[in-house]
Every structure is written in structure tokens, then in C-alpha cells.
């Protein structure tokens, strides 16, 4: 009986993850096109975290390059393409300057495209695991997780968000008017 429970718990976690995956993707798309307040400290924090993510991805791809021939070039290509995609993303972003804040709304089409690309990569990985797609000749199971398509999509997402956040930092005005004591009641969040 305890052995059966040990087998059913991981299977239940996988089934729950698969069941909640569409909801997570829908919420990711919804958050990706939401109107936001542009705050300098948030953008700087995002840039810092994305730089760490890019460094970790480059280090991982460099290590994976020992077994997988195209991991590092795919990641670098994805980073470059993502950074280039950030320019039209910023151009299509709607900025609104209110009394004491700057608000922005990212373009819904780009948010949808990036979410769908991520979902397609997850689906392709499952298709590979269940034998629908040809397995890479080199690397075995490692090639499914850290192969060229995964590195390309990861690089594209990291590069896009890093370029987008850097562009937001450049669009932020140096100074906004200071709020007077009586104006605090008028400003909403």
C-alpha cells in the first residue's frame, strides 16, 4: 500500500500540472497585456534579474555545449532575435502620462505570440517524449530538455524581456512632478 501511494503521488502531481497548464498560460497572456505603472525601481530590478537569467542561461548552454552541438548558438540566436523583437514591442506599446505617473500598456499581439511560442515548445517537448517526433541522435534525454529548440525559445524570451525592460528604462522621464499633500487622495495606484 505505501508503495502504491509513492507511485500515485508523483503521477497525481504531473496530472495536476497538466490540468493547470492551460490556466497558467491564459493568466500569463492576461498579465502580459495589462496596463501598468512605470516605476524606475521595478524596471531596474527586472533588468537586473533578467541579466542574471541571461548569464545563467549562457552558462548552462555553455556546459550543455559539451554534449549538444547547437545549444549555445541557439541560445545566442534567440537572445539576439528577442532583443530585436523588443524594438517593435516598445514601438507598439501605448504610454500614458498622467499627473504623477507614467502608465504603459504592452501590445497584446506580441504578448499572445510569445505565450503561444512558449506553449508550442512545451507541447513539442511532450510530443518528443511520447515518441511522436524523432529523437535527436546525440545526447539522448538531455537533448530533449536542453536542445536547440529549448535554447532558442529561452533565448528569445529572455532577450525580448531584457530588451523591452531596457527600453522602458530609457523611456522613463528623468523627473516627474512632485506630489503635493492634497494630491495624494486623487492618485489611484
> Mean pLDDT per 10-residue run, the chain (189 residues)?
79 82 80 84 94 96 86 93 94 86 88 87 79 59 62 93 93 64 47
pTM confidence score: 0.76
What pLDDT was estimated at residue 81? 95
- Residue 81 domain-assigned? yes
What pLDDT was estimated at residue 119? 86
CA distance 183 to 181: 6
What pLDDT was estimated at residue 188? 44
- Residue 58 domain-assigned? yes
What pLDDT was estimated at residue 138? 52
- Residue 181 domain-assigned? no
Neighbours of 13 (CB within 10 A): 10
- Residue 19 domain-assigned? no
What pLDDT was estimated at residue 102? 85
- Residue 18 domain-assigned? no
> Number of folded domains in the chain?
1
- Residue 96 domain-assigned? yes
What pLDDT was estimated at residue 189? 43
- Residue 178 domain-assigned? no
- Residue 183 domain-assigned? no
What pLDDT was estimated at residue 184? 47
* Enclosing H/E stretch for 96: strand 94-97
Domain of residue 45: give its range. 27-173
Amino acid at each position: 500500500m505505501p508503495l502504491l501511494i509513492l507511485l500515485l503521488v508523483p503521477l497525481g502531481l504531473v496530472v495536476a500540472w497538466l490540468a493547470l497548464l492551460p490556466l497558467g498560460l491564459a493568466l500569463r497572456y492576461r498579465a502580459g497585456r495589462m496596463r501598468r505603472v512605470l516605476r524606475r525601481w521595478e524596471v531596474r530590478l527586472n533588468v537586473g534579474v533578467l541579466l542574471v537569467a541571461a548569464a545563467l542561461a549562457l552558462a548552462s548552454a555553455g556546459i550543455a555545449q559539451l554534449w549538444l552541438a547547437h545549444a549555445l548558438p541557439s541560445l545566442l540566436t534567440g537572445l539576439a532575435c528577442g532583443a530585436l523583437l523588443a524594438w517593435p514591442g516598445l514601438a507598439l506599446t501605448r504610454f500614458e502620462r498622467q499627473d504623477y505617473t507614467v502608465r504603459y500598456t504592452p501590445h497584446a499581439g506580441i504578448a499572445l505570440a510569445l505565450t503561444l511560442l512558449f506553449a508550442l515548445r512545451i507541447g513539442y517537448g511532450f510530443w518528443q517524449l511520447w515518441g511522436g517526433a524523432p529523437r535527436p541522435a546525440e545526447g539522448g534525454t538531455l537533448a530533449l530538455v536542453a536542445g536547440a529548440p529549448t535554447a532558442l525559445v529561452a533565448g528569445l524570451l529572455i532577450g525580448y524581456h531584457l530588451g523591452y525592460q531596457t527600453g522602458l528604462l530609457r523611456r522613463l522621464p528623468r523627473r516627474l512632478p512632485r506630489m503635493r499633500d492634497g494630491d495624494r487622495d486623487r492618485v489611484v495606484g
